Amino acid sequence: MEKKLVLLCIAALILFAFGCKQKSEKNSGNIILSKNIEYDVTINNFKMSSQLTLEESNLIWFRDNIEASSRGAFLDMLFKNAFSGKLNLTDLNGKSIDTNQLKSILYVADTVTLTRITPPYDNYDTIIKKMISISTVTGLRFRESWSYDTKTMEITKKVITMAPLFSKVDTDKDGNEIIGENKVLFWIIFPEKTTPSKVLTKRIVSQVAYHDNSAFKNFNIDSVAIDTYIQKILELAYSDTLSVYSWSDGDMADIQISGTDLKNDICLIDTISFMTPKHKHGNYDTIIKHEPNITAIRFLEEWTFDPATMAIAKKVVGVCPVEMCYDQYGDLKGYRPLFWVYFSDVWIPFDEKLELKKAKK
């Protein structure tokens, strides 16, 4: 009898604990978007700026870019800490690496053809080893957990690990610069307890495609969950429950858009003719409205970091749903940003705040 009573008590405690946990999770108002997403963020947009005019590059200097002074100091600190053995480093397969293994990773070999200075002046190849320059670290790969608040729609990103990306720069036979694909150097595993309090940048804009395509390779992303999030954003925006703002060539804009104007602007309208044999006129027209085909999100973020662990914390300041536009052959033509939703104050260079203007009623 006593044994049965003890078992009943244990079962009751388990049910109580499980019920409390469910209630706590339900009341938290947070929904998981992706538990272990992995994606790249460019922190040096020299490739993009080189294709733009000076005026255009100044407008969007913060797109996929950290200010040169902050970026250089951050990367210099990162590599010094890595070589000092202060960071928990792994290779691409998750195996721990020491400083000797790190050196072998960071040294690249180039084969150079030289001509002998004595007869018969024949050519010979020699291998030159040199360490990767900080200036060629053009991006960071992140592994993160994403969730959002159902009341504010604000996205929270928890950075789990980070890897610097190296872009090899070569020249072709005509002397033109060729930039190779990004290569992961090593992973930095962040400790559970860390205090990212030093500001790295107050404004960086990056873009993540959450539907499979050849232009962007992201891993472990839940496109169904993000589709649901975007659909809710649209519903709240159309009903004027959520404040949304226009975008410009510089990405940020301060003009609020009403839900009606937004829907008229981003929803495509087609007029299609149908045949009606029983109708005396023979044909009739009907209007079909199409919701935008959103396949990517543009993020506006503030980044802080811990100088001891190099752990980065991200504060998502705003999100912008984006359509990726393709031609008839399926090749990517460009992007169509739709609107911005801001979750806190938006800062512009340098230390000025973007004053948001409300829509006229």
Span 7-52, pLDDT tens digits: 555 555 544 444 544 443 344 588 999 999 999 999 988 766 665 5
Domain membership flag for residue 28: no
Number of domains in the chain: 1
Arithmetic mean of pLDDT, 86-108: 90
Give a yes or no: residue 296 inside a domain: yes
The predicted structure's pLDDT at residue 232: 96
Beta pairing partners, 169: 179
Q: Does residue 26 lie in a domain region?
A: no
Q: Supply the range of the domain harboring residue 92.
A: 34-108+136-353
Give the model's pLDDT for residue 309.
95
Span 168-180, mean pLDDT?
69
Q: What is the mean pLDDT of residues 259-278?
A: 74
Q: For residue 74, what are the CA distances in angstroms to 280, 347, 348?
A: 75, 21, 21
Nearest to 358 by CA among 251, 248, 258, 236: 258
Does a structural domain hold residue 14?
no
Q: Which residue has the higher pLDDT, 63 or 251?
A: 63
144 neighbors 37 (Cβ within 8 angstroms): yes
| Tokens, residue 120 | 């018969």
Q: What is the pLDDT of residue 112?
A: 72
Which pLDDT score is estimated for 6? 46
Does any domain span residue 233? yes
Express as a percent the part of the chain with pLDDT over 70: 75
- For residue 91, is it within any domain? yes
Q: Report if residue 331 sits inside a domain.
A: yes
Residue 306 forms part of a structural domain: yes
